[in-house]
Amino acid sequence: MHFATLFASLALFSATGWAAYVLEDDYFSGNFFDRFAFWDSEDPTHGFVEYQGQKAAADAGLINTTSSGVYMGVDHTNESPTGRPSVRITSNKSYNTGLVVIDLAHMPGSICGAWPAFWMLGPNWPNGGEIDIIEGVNDQVGNKATLHTGPGCSIEQSSDYSGSLKYTTCPSGGDNNNGCQIADDETNSYGTNFNAGGGGTYATEWTADYISVWFWPRGSRPEDVLGDLPNPAGWGTPFAKFQGDCNFGRSFKDQQIVFDTTFCGDWAGNAWGNSACASKADTCEAYVQNTPEAFTEAYWSINALKVYSANGGSASSISTYVATTTSTAYVTQPESSYVAQTTMPTVFPTTLAISTKSTEYPPLPHSTSPVDNSSPSETGTSYVPILESDGSVGYASDTASSPPTNTGGGGGWFSNSNGVVGYSGGHGHDSRDLEAETRDRHARHLKAHTRHGKGRL
């Protein structure tokens, strides 16, 4: 097999291999609520709410599952001096990168005092990250997507999304809880206007390099979005694309899916006096307590919720079959090894082994580095070209070890005593350089945290 064929195969995989996703979880394939845990403790965001357990919520008519969808609402009948009964649920399963798609017939309306959200949450907030996909308060008319992280993440303005950049620094905690935020300029993306249009579909793609969020009003969703093999490359411009000085694979991990509707609290309560809602009551809590009929439309009606993984990979590994014109290859990349890398490969972060069933090495390109072109002493052995995660390319026998890791800025051909021949390609920086750069970048961000706003736990 020629190197030209090898690199042509790599180029094809790089261009197309990561575009498609496969279904990992369909939350409508069984009992929807059995896949979630019900939060029945105090609201971490200090809302005027009484979250109900699953049985209490079902008995009160706050949750229901029918053939047409899933309903989650709030009490809209009784005055509630200790907080309005509602529901907050968290998925039993957590995810590491992927694609989350939800189709909604209805979300809580733009109601004074209400603070609904569909979001994802990692452990040890904010260090595990938080992805707010749908969120708003009071009489808000457009959706706002927000990220919260530990130190070391910021996003930048770009033409890759259609929304409006509100905040660029993602680290949260203490008094600095705005996170980084992009608002959808379309007024039918949230609340009352969303419901008036018959609802719509949200898709969130999360990779190590970016997090994108799309919204399609009813009737405009691309055909493959909820299909077996959705491909975000054909979906057009998202309203939000978070990218910049951040590794989104490290800053967001073990994310669980969350639905909730709370009231007042750290955001809706604090914003009460600055909205038209202030004319309805002196305080947010007084309005929520004494006006149950205002919350008839404060419910979620879900048509579909699916989670997809890239190329069939699970939360711990990604495995994909690749065919070339001359051989068969299998590509496997555990996520744990991907996250631990200090340098990114020039093609993609996998180890590619393509069997050519050859007993001789092909001629190697000219190199000023010494190289042993002799064949190993064993006979009848198959040799395979390999592309390691550090960018090195070479040949190995079935029993040979991997090429040595390149830690310098240059590269050269090498041969090992165990029969490995290859080229160790340089990346321009070693791991010590990158670690120093990372420390400096984190220090810069820690000095920039001066914003105030909402928070999640």
Instruction: Establish whether 205 is a catalytic residue.
Output: no
Among residues 232, 342, 281, 238, the alpha carbon closest in space to that of 112 is found at 281
Q: Which amino acid is at 231?
A: N
| Strand, coil or helix: 446 | helix
* Joined tokens for residue 199: 């609802």
**Full strand arrangement of the beta sheet holding 164-167:** 36-38, 88-95, 255-263, 114-121, 130-135, 144-148, 180-183, 164-167
Element (H, E) at 69: strand 69-72
Beta strands in 191-242 (DSSP E): 200-206, 211-217, 240-242
Catalytic-labelled residue, pool 24, 50, 135, 186: 135
What distance in Å separates the CA atoms of residue 109 and residue 93, rounded to the nearest whole number?
28
* Inter-CA distances, 279 with 81, 186, 283, 297, Å: 20, 26, 10, 20
For residue 246, the cross-strand partners are: none
Instruction: Establish whether 135 is a catalytic residue.
Output: yes
What distance in Å separates the CA atoms of residue 390 and residue 403, rounded to the nearest whole number?
9
What distance in Å separates the CA atoms of residue 9 and residue 331, rounded to the nearest whole number?
12
Ramachandran sector of residue 15 (left: φ over 0; alpha: ψ -120 to 50; beta: rest)? alpha
Q: Which amino acid is at 7?
A: F
Radius of gyration of the chain, Cα coordinates, nearest whole angstrom: 26
Catalytic-labelled residue, pool 24, 50, 79, 130: 130
| Residues 6+ positions from 453 with CB-CB distance below 8 Å | 176, 177, 178, 179, 267
Catalytic residues: 130, 135
